[in-house]
């Protein structure tokens, strides 16, 4: 009798499992092959590195306790706080057991109530600075979630801070009790949320080992397919972890390889925007009324009704981890999941391997038309010499924070482009690029850091002329103004944003052939995802009937209606080289008080916008981008040969007979 109780399948989640079948010999072999492939892709770290991480965490935990003890002796000299304690928690990929070699560790320093955040960024920071094992110490006190960044014995760490309303924080302290959130400041609540979500997530999966292996696979797949970035409108690490955890709940006895397959199966047929839940929502929390407004509840909050793919975190206050998803990224994620299902089916039938699932996908094989964004960081000193010095570390750190800020703004341009009825998809690349050595710009490279992002465009068949000037200019103005408030930009430094349109066949003049050929070609799934549910603000536009990812009609830039030759000064040199490489940026000046415009003419077919000169006394220029979609079909020239993958995917899902007609539980 005891044996039957021990072998009983755990039932977790908001519904009954789909299948409780246990792994057979084939599942075990496929899981071993999956683990071997993950190791080949460096998804696991060496044993020596793991031991080093554990030693670093033990040392930091001791430092936290020593720091709390010293501050307590100053603030409570009576000795009543001798057992104040303090504890270092971990969360994120390290706590979930899916971190890779070289990844940083997310930690949280939890302290009693008489220690405040000022102490954390003063006395604790000074204690770390005096430790010989600490390098590259940098505090970001003004961040949405204040954090201390450092390297300890070569291991990179982020340390958050949270103060509990307790006299003592013993070694046995956990963070599961929701009452710990009472009377806390918002920064502490946000800092605690990461640890609480990670701990509850591990408690809500039936078998942690299989969950960790499957999550490693899904994270590697998502990164190589360019759909792993919460800030850019895709899914972040916690969102993918919740999806894998839900698959584990529905298949509690499955092997890791089967969980990967079933994750694709479940969410390729998921009726979005039904939410993904690991546990029932507790929306009536009168005991903590101050945090109830943070709970995801589309019945009461209008903003929650517009979320396209809600994935709800399990810890109170339950929130949507995918609120940044746009219409385009939703379409892209669902297509990638369907393709993943087809590849997993081929793996099961022996027609493919796990390497086929994890191969990096070439972004520039998806579309024929792109918008490029140049981000220029003009500095007030010789940047190359400064960044190579020890004093340049803080600037490097703040530069990283600046690029992260710019990445998070790109999705706003995507949302703006989606409102155009002639644009079906606006797909932002999650990878930034460095310009080709042959590309030339009208800025001095020793004083400038240049980064390029791309957005792929798919147009409707009925599209004729697309005037994107207002969207581009609004985005450019807003981001440049917001970037001026990012800490780390000097008084004589500024961020400039310029954009251009370009066809795929001309990209070689910007980023080089190596970046264009990296990865395999993208292939649309043979069985595309079913139509979305009743999304409140989904734009209804005619989609192309072609199986290609873009329409067959070519797109070109069109010059403004005002003849440019009338305003062009005769002394202005041509702004392009003979091979079409951009040497400057295109700008159109619209001055209300001026009666004339000074611009430069050039051929606008297939080349980036040119720089249009202006008088230095004029106001900030307006960047114009007008795209014309012709009716004819133009055969593309192939200056850069893109490798083609001739493989074909079978459309069957490869399910057991008992699952083919079974509806996946969506929500309670």
**∠ CA 590-592-594, rounded to 5°:** 85
State the catalytic residue, choosing from 52, 70, 100, 104.
104
Contact criterion met (CB below 8 Å) for 91 and 26: no
Ordered by start, the domain boundaries in the chain are 11-41+208-359, 45-204, 363-517
Residue 543 has pLDDT above 70, yes or no: no
Q: pLDDT (tens digit, 9 = 90+) per residue, 96-116?
A: 999 999 899 999 999 999 999
Residue 432 is labelled as binding a ligand: no
> How far is 58 from 70, CA to CA, in rounded Å?
19
Least Cα distance to 236 among 249, 218, 248, 251 occurs for 218
Asked if residue 68 lies in contact with residue 295, where contact means CB atoms within 8 angstroms, the answer is: no
Q: Cα–Cα distance between 357 and 218 in angstroms, integer?
A: 10
Query: What's the confidence (pLDDT) of residue 499?
Result: 85
The four Cα atoms 433, 436, 440, 441 give a dihedral, to 10 degrees, of 10
Q: Is 422 annotated as a binding residue?
A: no
Q: Of the ranges 291-295, 354-358, 581-585, 622-626, which is most confident?
A: 354-358
Give pLDDT tens digits for 486-505.
Answer: 655 554 556 778 888 888 98
pLDDT digits (tens, 9 = 90+) for 55-109: 999 999 999 999 999 999 999 988 787 889 999 999 999 999 999 998 999 999 9
What is the widest separation between alpha-carbon atoms in the chain?
Answer: 96
CA Rg, the chain, in Å?
27
pLDDT band with cut points at 50, 70 and 90 for residue 479: confident
Q: Answer yes or no: 644 catalytic.
A: no
Which CATH number is 45-204 given?
A: 3.30.460.10
Check the annotation: does 645 bind a ligand: no
Domain 11-41+208-359 maps to which CATH number in 3.30.360.10, 1.10.569.10, 3.40.430.10, 1.10.1410.10? 1.10.1410.10
Residue 270 neighbours by CB under 8 Å, 6+ apart:
276, 664, 666
pLDDT at position 156: 95
Residues in the chain: 668
Cα-based torsion angle of the residue sequence 72, 76, 80, 83 in order, rounded to the nearest 10 degrees: 0
Tell me whether domains 11-41+208-359 and 45-204 share a fold.
Answer: no
- Predicted confidence band of residue 432 (pLDDT cuts 50, 70, 90): confident
CATH architecture type of domain 363-517: 2-Layer Sandwich (3.30)
Helical (H) or strand (E) element with 473 = helix 469-483
Q: How far, in whole angstroms, is CA 313 from its chain's centroid?
A: 17
Chain-centroid distance of CA 478 in Å reads: 21
Lowest pLDDT segment from 66-80, 243-257, 576-590: 576-590
275 φ/ψ angles, rounded to the nearest 5 degrees: -75, 150
293 belongs to the catalytic site: no
Confidence of residue 393 (pLDDT cuts 50, 70, 90): low
Residues 547-558 have pLDDT tens digits of 333 332 233 333
Three-class secondary structure assignment of 333-401: HHHHHHHHHHHHHHHHCCCCCHHHHHCCECHHHCCCEEEEEEEEEECCCCHHHHHCCHHHHHHHHHHHH
Measured CA to CA, the distance from residue 327 to residue 308 in angstroms comes to 7
For residue 595, is pLDDT > 60?
no
Dist. CA 630–CA 352, nearest whole Å: 40
Q: How far apart are CA 648 and CA 343, in angstroms?
A: 10
Average pLDDT over the chain reads 78
More confident residue, 127 or 375: 127
Give percent of the chain above pLDDT 70.
71
Residue 188 neighbours by CB under 8 Å, 6+ apart? 161, 162, 163, 164
Element (H or E) spanning 105, and its range?
Answer: strand 105-111
Q: Answer yes or no: is 4 a known binding residue.
A: no
Residue 259, pLDDT above cutoff 90? yes
Distance CA 148, CA 160 (A): 6
Q: Given the residues 27, 65, 87, 106, select the one marked as catalytic.
A: 106
The pair of structure tokens assigned to 616 is 């230095």
Residue 228 DSSP label: B
Residue 158 annotated as part of some ligand binding site:
yes
Predicted structure pTM score: 0.80
Known catalytic membership, residue 284: no
* Catalytic entry in 43, 65, 87, 93: 93
The DSSP code for 302 is G
Residues 43, 188, 223, 228: which is the catalytic one? Answer: 228
Per-residue pLDDT at 449 exceeds 50: yes
Decide: 433 and 511 in contact? Cβ < 8 Å. Answer: yes
Half-sphere exposure of 550 (CA within 13 A, CB side): 21
Give the strand pairing for 155-163 and 87-91: unpaired
Residue 644 marked in a binding site? no
Q: Give the integer Cα–Cα distance in Å for 555 and 561.
A: 18
Closest to 507 (Cα-Cα) out of 447, 429, 613: 429
The set of residues, in sequence order, having a beta carbon less than 8 Å from that of 528 and lying 6+ positions away, is: 335, 338
Q: 256-268 and 25-40 are packed helices; what angle lies between their axes, rounded to 10 degrees?
A: 90
Report which secondary-structure segment, H or E, holds 494: strand 494-503
Which residue do the tokens 């043979």 mark? 526
| DSSP per-residue letters across 154-185 | TEEEEEEEEE-SSS-B-TT--S--GGGGTT--
Instruction: Please tell me the distance from the alpha carbon of residue 139 to that of residue 119, in angstroms, as a whole number.
Output: 12
User: pLDDT band for position 277 (50/70/90)?
Assistant: very high
- Residue 660 catalytic? no
Report the pLDDT averaged over residues 156-180.
Answer: 94
Catalytic residue among 52, 116, 123, 158: 158
Q: What is the pLDDT of residues 181-209, one digit of tens each?
A: 988 988 999 999 999 999 999 999 999 99
Binding site annotation covers 93? yes
pLDDT(312) > 90: yes
Is 623 a residue whose pLDDT tops 80?
no
> Does 518 belong to an annotated binding site?
no
3, 9 in Cβ contact below 8 A? no
| HEC secondary structure over 412-455 | HHHHHHHCCCCEEEEEECCCCECCCCCCCCCCCHHHEEEEEEEE
- Is 372 annotated as contributing to ligand binding? no
User: Could you give the residue ranges of the DSSP H alpha helices within 455-613?
Assistant: 469-483, 508-511, 513-517
Which of 219, 362, 586, 611 is an active site residue?
Answer: 219
Q: Is the peptide bond before 273 cis (omega within 30 degrees of 0)?
A: yes
Active-site annotation holds for 87: no
* Residue 93 a catalytic site member: yes
Average pLDDT over residues 523-531: 87
User: Which pLDDT score is estimated for 77?
Assistant: 87
Which of the two residues, 442 and 501, has the higher pLDDT score? 501
348: its two tokens: 């099961």
Rounded Cα distance between 657 and 668, Å, is 26
């Amino acid at each position: 009798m005891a044996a039957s109780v021990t072998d009983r399948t755990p039932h977790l989640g908001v519904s009954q499992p789909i299948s409780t079948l246990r792994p057979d010999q084939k599942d075990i072999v496929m899981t071993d092959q999956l683990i071997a492939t993950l190791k080949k892709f460096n998804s696991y770290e060496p044993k020596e590195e793991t031991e080093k991480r554990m030693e670093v965490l033990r040392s930091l935990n001791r430092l936290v306790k020593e720091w709390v003890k010293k501050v307590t002796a100053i603030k409570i000299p009576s000795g009543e706080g001798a057992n104040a304690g303090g504890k270092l928690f971990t969360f994120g990929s390290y706590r979930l057991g899916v971190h890779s070699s070289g990844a940083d560790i997310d930690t949280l320093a939890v302290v009693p109530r008489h220690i405040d955040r000022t102490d954390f960024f003063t006395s604790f920071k000074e204690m770390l600075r005096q430790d010989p094992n600490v390098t590259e110490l940098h505090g970001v006190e003004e961040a949405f979630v204040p954090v201390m960044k450092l390297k300890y014995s070569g291991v990179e760490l982020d340390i958050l801070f949270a103060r509990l309303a307790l006299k003592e924080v013993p070694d046995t302290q956990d963070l599961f009790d929701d009452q710990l959130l009472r009377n806390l400041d918002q920064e502490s609540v946000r800092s605690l949320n990461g640890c609480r979500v990670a701990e509850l997530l591990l408690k809500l999966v039936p078998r942690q080992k299989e969950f960790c292996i499957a999550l490693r696979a899904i994270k590697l797949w998502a990164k190589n397919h360019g759909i792993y970035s919460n800030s850019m409108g895709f899914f972040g690490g916690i969102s993918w972890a919740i999806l894998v955890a839900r698959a584990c709940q529905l298949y509690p006895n499955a092997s890791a390889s089967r969980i990967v397959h079933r994750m694709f199966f479940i969410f390729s047929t998921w009726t979005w925007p039904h939410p993904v839940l690991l546990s029932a929502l507790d929306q009536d929390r009168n005991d903590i009324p101050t945090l109830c407004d943070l709970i995801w509840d589309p019945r009461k909050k209008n903003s929650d009704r517009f979320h396209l793919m809600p994935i709800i975190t399990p810890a109170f206050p339950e929130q949507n981890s995918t609120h940044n998803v746009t219409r385009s990224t939703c379409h892209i994620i669902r297509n990638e999941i369907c393709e993943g299902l087809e590849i997993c089916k081929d793996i099961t039938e022996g027609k493919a391997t796990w390497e086929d699932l994890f191969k990096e996908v070439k972004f520039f094989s998806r579309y024929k038309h792109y918008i490029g964004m140049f981000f220029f960081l003009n500095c007030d000193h010789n940047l190359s010499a400064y960044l190579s010095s020890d004093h340049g570390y803080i600037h490097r750190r703040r530069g990283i924070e600046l690029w992260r800020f710019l990445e998070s703004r790109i999705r706003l341009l995507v949302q703006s482009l989606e409102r155009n009825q002639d644009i079906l998809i606006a797909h932002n690349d999650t990878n930034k690029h460095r310009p080709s050595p042959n590309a030339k710009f009208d800025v001095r490279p020793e004083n400038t850091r240049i980064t390029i992002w791309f957005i792929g465009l798919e147009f409707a068949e009925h599209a004729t002329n697309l005037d994107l000037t207002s969207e581009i200019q609004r985005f450019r103005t807003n981001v440049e103004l917001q970037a001026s408030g990012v800490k780390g930009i000097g008084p004589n430094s500024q961020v400039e944003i310029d954009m251009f349109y370009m066809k795929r066949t001309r990209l070689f003049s910007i980023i080089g052939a190596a970046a264009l050929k990296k990865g395999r070609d993208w292939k649309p799934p043979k069985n595309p995802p079913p139509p979305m549910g009743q999304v409140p603000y989904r734009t209804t536009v005619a989609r192309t009937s072609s199986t290609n990812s873009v329409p067959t009609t070519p797109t070109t830039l069109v010059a403004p209606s005002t003849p440019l030759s009338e305003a062009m000064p005769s002394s202005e040199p041509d702004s392009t080289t003979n091979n079409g490489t951009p040497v400057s940026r295109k700008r159109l000046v619209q001055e209300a008080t001026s009666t004339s415009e000074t611009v430069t003419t050039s051929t606008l077919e297939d080349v980036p916008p040119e720089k249009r000169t202006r008088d230095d006394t004029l106001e900030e220029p307006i960047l114009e981008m007008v795209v014309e979609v012709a009716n004819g079909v133009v055969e593309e020239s192939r200056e850069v040969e893109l490798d083609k993958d001739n493989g074909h995917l079978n459309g069957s899902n490869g399910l057991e007979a008992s699952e083919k007609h079974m509806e996946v539980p969506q929500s309670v």
